[in-house]
Amino acid sequence: MRENKVVYGLIGYGGMGRWHTEILSNVPEAVIGGIYDIKEEKREEAKAKGFSVYETEEAMLADSDIDVVLIATPNDCHKPIAIRAMHAGKNVISEKPVTLSSADLLEMEKVAKETGKLFTVHQNRRWDDDFLIIKKLVEEQKLGHVFRIESRVHGSRGIPGDWRKEKVHGGGMVLDWGVHLLDQILYMYGDRKIETVYASLTNITNQEVDDGFTAILTFEGGTEVLVEVGTNNYISLPRWYVLGKDGTAVIRDWQLTGEIIRKTGKTEETVIPVKTAAGLTKTMAPRREDTIVKEDLPKVSGDIADFHRNVVAVIRDGAEPEIKLFQVMRVMKLMEAIFQAAETKQVIEFQDQV
């Protein structure tokens, strides 16, 4: 440590690497000691931004000033770099997904135990405001018993034109966005067990890796969760749609437009049917205004810099890691179950170990 600050070494200066430098600028307890990227132009770019730059990975790992190595490379590189860094005596943060299989993760965990170093994963979307709002609603039972949650992200430009399109690098939307959405759901439900998994993948704009997927998870107690990522959707469905016994909540977009509608307890003795093209229906008739109440979404704010503040506290003060490896493993196994369910076109009984 340098003047009681945790010193970071950043490997990978692409989009996420640059983003980490912005986040870390808000964490005075941490400092970036240097950056390494395999591409010379990226190293030159980092130099131009005023960062110290290593010409090789080995030089960074040999630097006794570096306390923690942050890996922001393509997914297939996470495992070998993390293992080398831990063997070199460094704590490690890996970008998500931590690696490409649960077997790989077991090897990485083993090295972490052998070396006694912190090994954690940047599951940054636990701090998203939209997720924290839904988590609050579910935990406070604002809607009564929640029996269905739909979590979606939709775009219309396919997969970005980089390594995320390629299977060898761990591309595809299950590993890119699914890892976030699944982590959010499992974090929200804690030790509640998953019973079954069903899924389908899409290959509309990319035949090598999935460019979208839909997964349906059933949890112990009857709650059904739909998790969906689409990259060829020109009209996006809501980011969140939550159904409870006593009401419904919706968050439509990243700007947090949405509302809660709950029943007041007043009953409708007489339902006035609504006229449809083919006849009348009471079932689908709108509720009378005095039997429901419309409310604004609660205000909840997250700060992604809290992830790095926690890393600093773990290294410097022995605090508990916010992102724990058993949680990361559970998400990894769930992604593998999604691939299995999609390939076999069968419902998978998930062997959940919370």
Sheet holding 224-230, edge to edge: 292-295, 258-263, 247-251, 240-244, 146-154, 224-230, 212-219, 194-202, 348-349
The pLDDT mean for the chain works out to 96
* Domain residue extents for the chain: 6-122, 126-256+297-302+334-349
- Judge whether residue 270 has pLDDT over 90: no
Q: What is the residue-wise DSSP string for 272-326?
A: PPEEETTEEESTTPPPPGGGEEEEPPPP----THHHHHHHHHHHHH-PPPSS-HH
- What is the predicted pLDDT for the residue at 267? 81
- Judge whether residue 1 has pLDDT over 80: no
SS3 178: helix
Q: Name the token pair of 23.
A: 């986040």
pTM, two decimal places: 0.96
Q: What is the residue-wise DSSP string for 4-71?
A: TBEEEEEE--SHHHHHHHHHHTT-TTEEEEEEE-SSHHHHHHHHHTT--B-SSHHHHHT-TT--EEEE
- Judge whether residue 354 has pLDDT over 70: no
- What is the predicted pLDDT for the residue at 60? 98
* pLDDT tens column, 103-162: 999 999 999 999 999 999 999 999 999 999 999 999 999 999 999 999 999 999 999 888
Looking at domain 6-122, its CATH class is: alpha beta
CA distances from 245 to 35, 116, 140, 263 (A): 52, 47, 14, 9
* pLDDT tens column, 277-326: 999 999 999 988 989 999 999 999 999 999 999 999 999 999 999 999 99
- Judge whether residue 352 has pLDDT over 90: no
- What is the predicted pLDDT for the residue at 266? 83
Of the pLDDT bands very low, low, confident and very high (cuts 50, 70, 90), residue 29 is very high
Q: Give the residues across from 253 on adjacent strands.
A: none
* pLDDT tens column, 180-192: 999 999 999 998 9
Separation CA 198–CA 218 (nearest Å):
9
What CATH number labels 126-256+297-302+334-349? 3.30.360.10
* pLDDT tens column, 219-253: 999 999 999 999 999 999 999 999 999 999 999 99
* pLDDT tens column, 52-74: 999 999 999 999 999 999 999 99
